[in-house]
């Protein structure tokens, strides 16, 4: 259960990152949350099918959605505080602060919502150049290929 995981990481003052991979309807979704002393300080979201990389708040929203998926692979890696600082110094765009507590985690309502993923991907794809996978999705060609 993701709520318990986040509360445990917060109570242990965890520093490092979580790396979650799920295979959703929109390809492989990779979510990385960076922690410093038990608090989220950065986030990255990758989607290979759409060739998309998101950072910060946008990435956090999709990462939290991915944590709600019951089928995935989660790895947790420890880093020391200096490594986290270096990571954030050289990757300013990944910075996003989220204070973890029982009340903030419960407000996240961590459940995988396919419609949320679809909406967030479309919103962010509109900001990027139209890619081949996006065109397949836009014209519903990917649905035809599944049958």
pLDDT given for residue 13 in this prediction: 95
Could you tell me whether strands 39-47 and 72-78 are parallel, antiparallel, or unpaired per DSSP bridges? Answer: unpaired
Domain ranges of the chain: 2-146
Where the chain has pLDDT below 70, the residues are 124-147
- Pairing label, strands 16-24, 72-78: antiparallel
Q: At what angle do helices 114-125 and 56-67 cross, to 10 degrees?
A: 160
DSSP letter, residue 94:
G
- Which of 116-128 are b and which e, b meaning 16 or more Cβ less than 10 Å from the residue's Cβ? ebeebbeebbeee
Closest CA to 142 of 16, 25, 36: 25
What pLDDT, on the 0 to 100 scale, is given for residue 128? 52
Residue 46 to residue 70: CA distance in whole angstroms: 18
C-alpha angle 33/37/39, rounded to 5°? 45
CA angle in degrees (0–180, nearest 5) for 94-135-110 = 45
pLDDT score, position 146: 55
50-78 pLDDT per residue, tens: 778 889 998 998 898 888 888 889 999 99
Q: What is the pTM of this model?
A: 0.79
């Amino acid at each position: 259960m993701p709520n318990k995981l986040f509360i445990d990481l917060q109570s242990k003052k965890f520093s490092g990152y979580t790396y979650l991979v799920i295979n959703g309807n929109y390809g492989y979704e990779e979510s990385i949350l960076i922690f410093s002393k038990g608090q989220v300080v950065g986030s990255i979201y990758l989607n290979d099918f759409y060739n998309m990389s998101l950072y910060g708040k946008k990435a956090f929203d999709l990462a939290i959605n991915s944590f709600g998926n019951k089928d995935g692979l989660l790895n947790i890696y420890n880093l020391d505080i200096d490594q986290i600082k270096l990571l954030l110094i050289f990757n300013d765009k990944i910075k996003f602060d989220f204070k973890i507590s029982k009340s903030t985690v419960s407000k996240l309502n961590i459940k995988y919502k396919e419609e949320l993923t679809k909406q967030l991907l479309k919103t962010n794809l509109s900001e990027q150049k139209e890619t081949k996978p996006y065109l397949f999705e836009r014209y519903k060609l990917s649905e035809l290929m599944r049958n």
